[in-house]
Amino acid sequence: MEKIDYGSILSQLKTELKTDCAIANRYGIILSSNIDIFPKEKLIPQKILELILKRDAIAEELNLKNQIKSFAFETEEFNFVFTFTKELILISKVDLDINLAQFMLSIRVVAQKLSEIKEEQEIKKFSVFDFSKDIAKIETTLEKETYNKDKYSIIKDIIKYISS
């Protein structure tokens, strides 16, 4: 099984979108990061992860028909954008002068593509199971039982006759 090289993906994002990013799995474990406060192999802070996990409840509370796909937090120096799919959380550290609407649209597409790659990789983990040996064993067992059933039918008939 091939591992996804998240480090090279992050360097491409830095080049193309001019932003630092981090990628985490759905449990909040950071798989790769260019952001200092989100180091690799650490967890997303609990309060942020709780907010992300409660996004469906938040959408329901706000009467939103569509699922919430990202959050943005503004600080004095930059914005943090958390974009999520079913399998991954993509964290972006964005300068304040960047148009968040355009950026969020672009980063959502990237997150979706990453999620598709991860899902394809997981599907490849499954191997094809050869049932032919098991079917052959079942057929052999059935043949033996059929043979034994016919073999002892005379004895069964005699026992029934004697017992009645």
Dump pLDDT digits (tens) for 90-110: 999 999 998 888 888 888 888
Nearest-angstrom CA–CA distance, 75 and 80: 8
1 confidence band (pLDDT: 50, 70, 90): very low
Q: What pTM was estimated for this model as a whole?
A: 0.67
Helix axes 132-151, 153-163, angle to 10 degrees: 40
34 confidence band (pLDDT: 50, 70, 90): very high
Lowest mean pLDDT among 53-67, 96-110, 144-158: 144-158
Does domain 6-124 match CATH 3.30.450.30?
yes
Residue 101, token pair as written in the block = 């609407």
Nearest-angstrom CA–CA distance, 155 and 160: 9
